[in-house]
Structures are given as C-alpha cells and as structure tokens.
Amino acid sequence: MREAHSVEQVRAAEAALMAVLPEGTLMQRAAAGLAVTCAGLLGRVYGSRVVLLVGSGDNGGDALYAGARLARRGARVDALLLSPQRAHAGGLAALRSAGGWSLPADAPGFPAAAQRLVAAADLVMDGIVGIGGRGGLRAPAAELAQAVGQAGAVVVAVDLPSGVDADTGAVPAVVEGLPSALSADVTVTFGTHKPGLLVDPGAAYAGVVELVDIGLEPPAPVLRAAQHADIARLLPRPARETDKYARGVLGLAAGSERYPGAAVLATGAALHGGAGALRYVGPRAVGDAVLAAHPEVMVGAGRVQAYAVGPGIDTGEEARERLAAVLADEVPVLVDADGLTLLAESGPKALRNTPGALLTPHAGEAVRLLAGLGEESTRAGVEADRIGYARRLAAGYAATVLLKGSTTVIADPRGEVWVNPTGTPYLATAGSGDVLTGLSGALLAAGLSPTEAAVCGAYLHGLAGHLAADEGAPCSASDVLRALPGAWHEVCGA
C-alpha cells in the first residue's frame, strides 16, 4: 500500500526527527537516495552529463548534494542556480569541492548557456521547489522547463515535480505558452508520498515514483493507494465447503426499456465479481435481454446479500419506486447513475435504514448529490478538488463515495481517502460505469465492506481497462467486461 501525507504532517514529522539527529542528517539521507536512483538511471556515471535545476530552498539543497555525489564518481555536473543569492550554501560548496560547476541565472548570456547545457544533458535533476512551493513555475524556470521537455535527457524530480501542488496534485494553467510544472520521468520522494504524486494532474507529471526512507514517522495518512497485494488480500475466494448462497447473492436493479444495455453490461460484470449468484430485478423485456446474454442470471426479486441499483433505470416514477424497493430491503447497497439523481432529490435520509452504502458518482452527479445536502457546487469545482468533495459527500450521506474521473477517489464516512492508481483515459467510454457498478456490487454481496468493494472494484476495473486497450486502440465497455478475468488473474496470480 502506498500512503501519502500532507505537507503539514511531513513538516511535523521532520521537526520531531530533526530534534534528535545531528543537523543536516535528513538532507544527506535524501541526497544519498536520490544519487543512487540517478546513478541507476545513468547506467555509467563516469563521463555522463548531469544538469541540476536549483531553486532557493532545501529542495535545491538535495539536488546539489546528490549532484556532488555524482560528480565524485566522474559525472560532469552543472548546477543552474535560479535564485543565485539564495541557493543552498552547504550544497553548493559540496558540489564545487567535488568538481562540479555552477551557472547563476544572473550571469550574462545565462538563457542560451543554460539551454545548451540542458540540450546536451543525459539527466536533468529538478530541484527547483519541493513541498515549500507555491503556484506554478516562475521565470526563468518556466523557460528552462520548456527546453527540458524538448531535450532527450531523463528528468528526475526531487521530492515532487516543481509546479505541482503537494497536497492536491493541482497544476496551475499554462501562462503564455510556457509550462507551469516540470514533467518528470522519475520522482524520488522522501519519507512518504505526497498526495499530489498520487492524484491527477500531479500524478501524470510525476512519472515513476520512488520512495526513499529517511526515517520519518508520520501519523495516519491523508491518502492511500492500494497495490496488487492489498487487493489480492481483500478479494473473495470461495472456501472448499461453500455454495452459491454462502458466496453471496447480488440483486441488480439496472436498465429500463429505454436503456436495456445498462442491465446487460452490469449483470455481465457482476458475474465476474466473486458473488455466488445474481438476481436481476426489472422490466420483463429487459430481464429477457439479460437472460439471453447471461443465462446464469436469476430473474425476479428474492433474498440477496446486497443490491446495486441505478444504471439506466431512468428518473421517472417507476424508477423512483424501484429505488425505494431496493432501499427498503435493508441490505448494503451500491447506488449509481440515475439512482444517484433520484437519491439527490430526497437527500441522505433515504439511506437511513441501509446498513452500508456505496455511492459512485461522476463529477456531474456529485454536484446533484451536493445539492441534496444543500450545497451549491459546479462540475469544474468538484474536478479541481476531488478529495475535498468526495470527503464532504461521504460525511454528508454517511456512505462510502467513489468519485469517478481522471483520478478516481474513494472517501469513507470516517474520513479515510483512497485514490485508485490503475485508471486509464480509455475507460471514459459509454457503459464503462455500468461495468464498475456490476463488479463492485458483486464484491459487496460477497461480503466486502462498501469501502473495500469500491477500492477493489475501481482497481480491477482500471486494470481491465488497461488490458482491453493494450494494443493502444480504443476499447468499448464490452471489451473492458471481457478483460475482467484477466485483471483478477493479474492481481491474484502476482
């Protein structure tokens, strides 16, 4: 599991550790880890060319000390000092005594000389700003970032890509065509992950993230991201002595005569969710379509361990009655799509008899659910602060909320937040949400908690999306559905 801590938490943990360690110890640990990764990326350090982008804080200090280590091993290291008067004095002295070079930004001809060095570099280390950064790149870093983007060097971000907000992953808008953050191939982060490394757009700038242990002992994380082993531990496996009822039965109220496809996709996905059986509840004609596609489904109401309700049910009176009937059953429930629109009309009180609920909105549905809490919001606002809004919805509805999007975020009512690391833009396709609903609903019926079902469902769904789009060609929701067994195999066979 990857855990991320806020800047405030990191600062507090750093202060506690610095109080008992000799001065400079943490920076030396960070620089040592950073240098090891860079050396690995270079392959042969001797004779390689390394350029350091050095800002005014300790992030630049890390880069200078790591650069000194590479210079001692025979690399040609040039430090571009973007705030020459404020560059880390100890780091600069270490670089110089190791045979490294420095070029201050106020030297005559700096822009052209700096761009030449960047163009010839094998590796560029981004030590412009770390967790002390505010806002996007400033001049002259923005111009250099553009040159770095055009050069062939491997880019290593120190702690986090400069310009990315450490706590939210936000990246300011591009100004005058210049990048507002520096995209990295590898980010070497210290002590713990920062939320901005796990949440888009920041996550997309970070590349591969490597964690260097510097001895920090931070408190409970503000954000978690599961990995294969975490998911494999949670996924239901049938015991030797079991039957279909013991494995859990999911009731699925999806689709309508207007939207029968939602029911077919959701039931298809539910059959790959680890439950023992599936009951389809809905209009006769839709039930026939479901049966034609999936003969193993039972049609008609009956005893179930959990319900999934909403995709394609429409928002009229009949749909309202279907949702009410599901909620009256007092079993854990997943509500999606049209079900969320209807739920927003009545607000959280509609869930008061439900033993556990999982709501799976996209940003537009989140706006409606927030209105159900009496809070005005916009789609763009929700997308800009996904973690904050998911948390507010989870608390307001006393439910787990899976907020779908470029980074899917999951918040539970106790305030814990997860981010799904397996997403792919190929999942932004019609019917993809129906597949997620069927899959996560079946996991709920199999006995996972709403949060576990959300975390595992989003993870497998994302992996299936990657498998379906493996050839780089667009894929449909049916392709994602067909890839689900492969996703299980990848997780459980690992």
Ligand X SMILES: NC(=O)C1=CN([C@@H]2O[C@H](COP(=O)(O)OP(=O)(O)OC[C@H]3O[C@@H](n4cnc5c(N)ncnc54)[C@H](OP(=O)(O)O)[C@@H]3O)[C@@H](O)[C@H]2O)[C@@H](O)CC1
- Single out the segment in contact with ligand X by CB under 6 A; choices: 109-117, 133-141, 302-310, 465-473: 133-141
Q: What is the DSSP string of 38-83?
A: HHHHHS--TT-EEEEEE-SSHHHHHHHHHHHHHHHTT-EEEEEESS
CB nearer to ligand X: give 211 or 234: 211
CB nearer to ligand X: give 47 or 111: 111
By CB under 5 A, residue 62 contacts K ion: no
Q: Is 132 annotated as a binding residue?
A: yes
Interface residue with ligand X, options 78, 122, 126, 159 (CB under 6 A)? 159
Q: Is 404 annotated as a binding residue?
A: yes
17-46 binders of ligand X (CB under 6 A) = 26-27, 30
Q: How would you classify the pairing of strands 123-127 and 101-104?
A: unpaired
126 binds, among K ion, ligand X, none (CB under 5 to 8 A by kind): K ion
CB nearer to K ion: give 157 or 350: 157
Beta sheet of 277-280, edge-to-edge order: 2-4, 223-225, 417-419, 409-411, 400-403, 357-359, 333-335, 306-309, 249-253, 277-280, 298-299
Asked whether 418 and 222 are in contact (CB, 8 A), the reply is no
Residue nearest to ligand X (CB): 130
By CB under 6 A, residue 214 contacts ligand X: yes
Q: What do you get for the CA distance between the two ends of the chain, in Å?
A: 15
- Single out the segment in contact with K ion by CB under 5 A; choices: 82-90, 158-166, 193-201, 246-254: 158-166
The residue type at 267: T
Asked whether 399 and 373 are in contact (CB, 8 A), the reply is no
Contact letters for K ion, residues 161-180 (x by CB under 5 A): -x------------------
Show contacts of 384-387: CB within 8 Å, 24+ apart.
384/170, 385/168, 386/199, 387/168, 387/195, 387/199, 387/223, 387/411, 387/417, 387/419
What is the Cα–Cα distance from 311 to 38, expressed in whole angstroms? 48
Interface residue with ligand X, options 67, 133, 196, 251 (CB under 6 A)? 133
If DSSP codes are grouped into helix, strand and coil, which group holds residue 5? coil
Binding-site residue total for ligand X (CB under 6 A)? 29
Would you list which residues are annotated within the binding site? 58-62, 126, 130-136, 159, 162, 262, 312, 362, 404-408, 433-434
Q: Which residues are annotated as a binding site for AMP?
A: 404-408, 433
Give the residue numbers of the binding site for (6S)-NADPHX. 58-62, 130-136, 159, 262, 312, 362, 434
Provide the binding-site residues for ligand X, judged by CB under 6 A.
Answer: 10, 14, 26-27, 30, 55-62, 128-135, 137-138, 158-159, 190-191, 214, 216
